[in-house]
């Protein structure tokens, strides 16, 4: 992208996607500022860090000073305590971005859809959440685009399914536990029915998709499904990793009652159980709008699996 001046892109959150997005934007020639509550990461040319709380209006104003584009990649770690944490955080980000005059790109998930009537489903699918977290995400979506319609701030969002990929440790398929079991030839754990159609988002593709939305103001005013590999199931993804590592593709489906029992002692796993419906019905994305509009395809499965292994478990790659 050619700019009269080098743009400043501010990324809020440094979890699984934020750092990848930073590298993508740096490669595209932008200045990048990473903002997080925790300690700063590694420095490099074109990248600066700030530490603070975006619900603090004074800090938020300073963090977004001079920004052209702001990316909300925040994801509060207390998964079971989102209600009461997510709202002030997202509202603080919307208000601060509005004051700064920058555009806002939000990374979102699929919780707001609930159980779609069809699969694949597109961005026009009604929001009918069937979980506490889904209701909360739907509320945040409504507030986000209401601010856009009022003219307070220009916004867009990129929606992704469950992640897998390099440096994506919270994913069941690409977690440290997954690679440990793969290396030992043990059965690989999955949720729900592994043979149902299901989309998984390769984390570098998520970062690239957000950068594209950040560079295209014509994307504003709506949500976009970021590119996913077509024809996927949980079994197909696990088998691709096993094949690349020359290991047996043995799957172990974790029974729902396991989460119910453990959930009695773990609020986190109790919260996960609420979202299990996504693995119990066909749950695939239609990303055709993004592909057609921006001419971008998802990374091929074999390449995505190889690059993930190269980063996370290089000794497993077949010679």
Reported as a single tens digit per residue, the pLDDT across 130-153 is: 999 999 999 999 999 999 999 999
Q: What is the CATH number of the domain that holds 16?
A: 3.40.50.720
| CB distance 285 to 228 below 8 Å | yes
pLDDT (tens digit per residue) in 182-205 = 999 999 999 899 999 999 999 999
Q: Are residue 51 and residue 80 in the same domain, yes or no? A: yes
Asked whether residue 311 is assigned to any structural domain, the reply reads: yes
- State residue 65's pLDDT score: 98
**pLDDT at residue 1 in the model:** 45
Average pLDDT score over the chain: 92
Query: Which residue from 164, 269, 294 is spatially nearest to 219, judged by alpha carbons?
Result: 294
Which residue from 105, 122, 100, 109 is spatially nearest to 217, judged by alpha carbons? 105
Lookup result for tokens 């396991």: 258
Same domain, 254 and 238: yes
| C-alpha span between 193 and 277 (Å, rounded) | 10
Is residue 252 in some structural domain?
Answer: yes
pLDDT-derived band of residue 3, with 50, 70 and 90 as boundaries?
Answer: very low
Between 88 and 82, the more confident residue is 88
Identify the bridge partners of residue 283 per DSSP, sorted by sequence position: 198
- Residue that wins the pLDDT comparison between 22 and 268: 22
Quick one: pLDDT at residue 78?
Answer: 74
Q: Does residue 92 sit within a domain?
A: yes
Judgement on whether residues 215 and 311 belong to the same structural domain of the protein: no
Q: Are residues 239 and 101 in the same domain?
A: no
Q: Is residue 153 one of the residues assigned to a domain? A: yes
Residue 241 belongs to a domain: yes
128 and 188 together in one domain: no
| In a shared domain, residues 51 and 61 | yes
**Which residues partner with 188 through β-bridges?**
251
At CB < 8 A and 24+ separation, what contacts does 242-245 make? Answer: 242/182, 242/188, 244/302, 244/305, 244/306, 244/309, 244/316, 244/317, 244/318, 245/182, 245/183, 245/309, 245/313, 245/316, 245/317, 245/318
Is 211 contained in some domain? yes
Domain that holds residue 264: 176-196+232-282+301-316
State whether 111 and 27 are in the same domain: yes
**Taking the CA atoms of the chain, what radius of gyration do you get in angstroms?**
19
Determine what percent of the chain is predicted with pLDDT higher than 90: 83
In a domain, 265, yes or no: yes
- Residue 257 pLDDT: 67
| Burial group, residue 193, by CB count within 10 angstroms (0-12, 13-18, 19+) | middle
Residue 82 binned pLDDT confidence (cut-offs 50, 70, 90): confident
> Does 1 fall in a domain?
no
Render pLDDT for 106-129 as a digit per residue (tens, 0 to 9).
999 999 999 999 999 999 999 999
104 and 54 together in one domain? yes
| pLDDT for res 2 | 43
Residues 243 and 157 in one domain: no
Residues 127 and 140 in one domain: yes
Q: Domain check: are 147 and 31 in the same one?
A: yes
pLDDT of 72: 98
pLDDT digits (tens, 9 = 90+) for 40-81: 998 899 999 999 999 999 999 999 999 999 999 998 877 667
What's the confidence (pLDDT) of residue 83?
87
Q: Give tens-digit pLDDT for 246-301.
A: 999 999 998 876 655 454 444 555 667 788 899 999 999 999 999 999 999 999 99
Quote the number of domains for the chain. Answer: 2
Same domain for 180 and 134, yes or no, is no
């Amino acid at each position: 992208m050619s700019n009269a001046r080098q743009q400043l892109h501010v990324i809020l959150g440094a979890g699984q996607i934020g750092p990848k997005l930073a590298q993508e934007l740096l490669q595209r020639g932008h200045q990048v500022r990473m903002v997080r509550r925790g300690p700063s990461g590694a420095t490099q040319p074109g990248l600066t860090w700030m530490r603070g709380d975006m619900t603090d209006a004074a800090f938020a104003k300073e963090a977004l000073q001079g920004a052209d584009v702001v990316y909300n990649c925040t994801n509060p770690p207390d998964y079971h305590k989102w209600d009461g944490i997510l709202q002030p955080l997202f509202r603080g980000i919307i208000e601060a971005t509005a004051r700064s005059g920058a555009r806002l790109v939000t990374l979102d998930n699929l919780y707001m859809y609930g159980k779609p009537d069809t699969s694949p489903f597109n961005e026009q699918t009604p929001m009918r959440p069937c979980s506490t977290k889904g209701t909360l995400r739907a509320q945040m979506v409504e507030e986000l685009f209401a601010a856009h319609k009022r003219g307070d701030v220009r916004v867009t969002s990129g929606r992704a399914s469950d992640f897998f990929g390099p440096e994506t440790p919270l994913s069941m398929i690409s977690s440290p536990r997954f690679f440990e079991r793969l290396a030992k030839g043990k059965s690989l754990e999955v949720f729900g029915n592994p043979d149902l159609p299901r989309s998984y988002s390769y984390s570098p593709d998520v970062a690239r998709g957000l950068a594209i939305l950040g560079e295209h103001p014509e994307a504003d005013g709506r949500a976009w499904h970021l590119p996913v590999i077509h024809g996927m199931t949980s079994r197909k993804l696990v088998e691709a990793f096993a094949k690349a590592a020359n290991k047996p593709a043995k799957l172990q489906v974790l029974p729902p009652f396991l989460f119910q029992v453990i959930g009695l002692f773990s609020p986190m796993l109790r919260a996960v159980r609420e979202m299990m419906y996504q693995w119990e019905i066909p749950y695939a994305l239609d990303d055709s709008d993004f592909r057609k509009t921006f001419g971008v395809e998802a990374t091929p499965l074999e390449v995505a699996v190889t690059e993930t292994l190269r980063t996370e478990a290089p000794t497993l790659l077949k010679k």
